[in-house]
Amino acid sequence: MVRYVTELIGTFFLVFTIGMTAVAGVGLAPIAIGATLIAIVYMGVHVSGAHYNPSISIALYLRGALDAKHLAPYIAAQLLGACLAACAVLMITGGTFAPAPGEGYGTLSVLLAEMLMTFALALVIMNVATSKATEGTSYYGLAIGFTVMGGSFAVGGVSGGVFNPAVGFGPILVDMLAGDGGFGNLWFYTVGPIVGAAAAVPVFKMQEGAGDAEA
């Protein structure tokens, strides 16, 4: 149970940071988001693995680093944490912050942006946090946070820079319940990240196999 609570808390503060910076219109929001992610990764990695992202949990399950019995509870905790965070932002600011594609970008552009950056995120996480070659290192939080920060700057204007189905689900649900929007964009932030993260698994296994062969 503790690991699920940790996933809920970590996802809550990730989404809360995203929401508060979005509502305030902070220009350097990716820095705040990346810094928060670094901190909460170190907070929870020894308890739950610090996924805070359903697509990462799915990738780690496919990689063999997460037991099947934990997959659904992890995702449920992450989605609940995201919903609670979106509610907290609404209560504090009176505003919602549902992610949406940038103006002028089509379906393919948005999906590719989400897929590619989640692919990169999942590949980084598997290499720095689950590989035998990097076992015992302590820089994984920095690598993960900087990947999200860089991705947010790179494609935030294209897709919204979500890379996480929970970050899409919670804010979009609360936005819809508040009467300001609908579920129309949710599939971008579900399909794109999950496909991208899953695609990183065979690449990681090739890297891991090459490393074992050279050793």
What would the pLDDT profile of 7-35 be if each residue is shown by its tens digit? 999 999 999 999 999 999 988 999 999 99
Please determine, for residue 180, whether its predicted confidence score (pLDDT) is greater than 80: no
Token digits of residue 179: 């009467």
- Would you tell me how many other CB atoms lie within 10 Å of the CB of residue 58? 22
**Selected residue with higher pLDDT from 92 and 180:** 92
DSSP letter for each residue of 133-161? GGTT-S-HHHHHHHHHHHHHHHHHHHH-S
Residues 120-139 have a mean pLDDT of 90
pLDDT, residue 145, reads 97
pLDDT, residue 133, reads 84
Please determine, for residue 215, whether its predicted confidence score (pLDDT) is greater than 90: no
pLDDT, residue 48, reads 97
- Would you tell me how many other CB atoms lie within 10 Å of the CB of residue 66? 20
Class of domain 2-214: mainly alpha
Please determine, for residue 134, whether its predicted confidence score (pLDDT) is greater than 90: no
pLDDT, residue 135, reads 80
pLDDT, residue 137, reads 80
Residues 159-186 have a mean pLDDT of 93
The pTM of the full predicted model, rounded to 2 decimals, is 0.94
- The tally of CA atoms less than 13 A away on the side-chain side of residue 128 is 19
Do residues 98 and 180 lie in contact, with contact meaning Cβ atoms separated by under 8 Å? yes
| Residue-wise pLDDT tens digits, 60-108 | 999 999 999 999 999 999 999 999 999 999 999 999 999 999 999 999 9
Q: What separation, in Å, do the N-terminal and C-terminal C-alpha atoms of the chain show?
A: 38
Q: How far apart are CA 137 and CA 146, in angstroms?
A: 16
Strand residue runs (E) in 11-113: none
**Domain edges within the chain:** 2-214
Residue 210: pLDDT band with limits 50, 70, 90:
confident
Please determine, for residue 50, whether its predicted confidence score (pLDDT) is greater than 60: yes
